[in-house]
Amino acid sequence: MTTANKLTLLRMALIPVFLGVLYAGFSGSRYVALGVFIAASLTDMLDGYVARHYNQITNFGKFMDPLADKVLVMAAMCWFVEIGQMPGWALAVVLLREFAVSGMRLVAVEQGRVIAAGWSGKVKTASTMVCLCLMMLLDESWMPIPRTLNVLCIAIIVLTTVYSGVEYFIQNRDVFKDVD
């Protein structure tokens, strides 16, 4: 297994740790969880760099890297919805995009193609991770959540999600040409 793939698996392994710390609810758990989230997010940048720099690009990585990102982001977003810091419709938009893109990837695999993440998808992932980190920092126990910053983060997440999803389908529309 390549180093890049090991980093992707590490990100997957950090997700239950992230959630466990969040739900533990001890004093400062939100900040410890933020540290775990940041570490997991950094493995995303690192595994991409290692894969490209050391020519470790694999079909496993093309599939698992975006999946690991989705699971990490969805875990955080579900928690924000649960605590009332994010509206459920925003999560629904992100889920719809992710299921649609995953569905397209499955159709492509049936045709012998593996579609790697595009540039706008990487921007979406990075901006979403940054926004989720900011939202985690905004803890009402020590600082009132600036509503405008929270709303701005949610808007960035939704807009980059929709844009990248539309672009993804436009750029790969040929996948559906021969579908029965």
Low-confidence ranges of the chain (pLDDT < 50): none
Domain ranges of the chain: 3-176
What is the pLDDT at residue 163? 97
What is the pLDDT at residue 48? 84
Please give the radius of gyration of the chain, using alpha carbons only, rounded to the nearest integer: 17
| Domain 3-176, CATH homologous superfamily name and number | CDP-alcohol phosphotransferase transmembrane (TM) domain (1.20.120.1760)
Q: Which two tokens stand for residue 162?
A: 């929709």
What is the pLDDT at residue 39? 96
What is the pLDDT at residue 71? 94
Spatial distance between the Cα atoms of 15 and 76, rounded to a whole number of angstroms: 9
Per-residue model confidence as pLDDT tens digits over 86-121: 999 999 999 999 999 989 988 988 888 877 778 898
**C-alpha dist (Å) from residue 63 to 18, 27, 177:** 22, 37, 22
What is the pLDDT at residue 179? 64
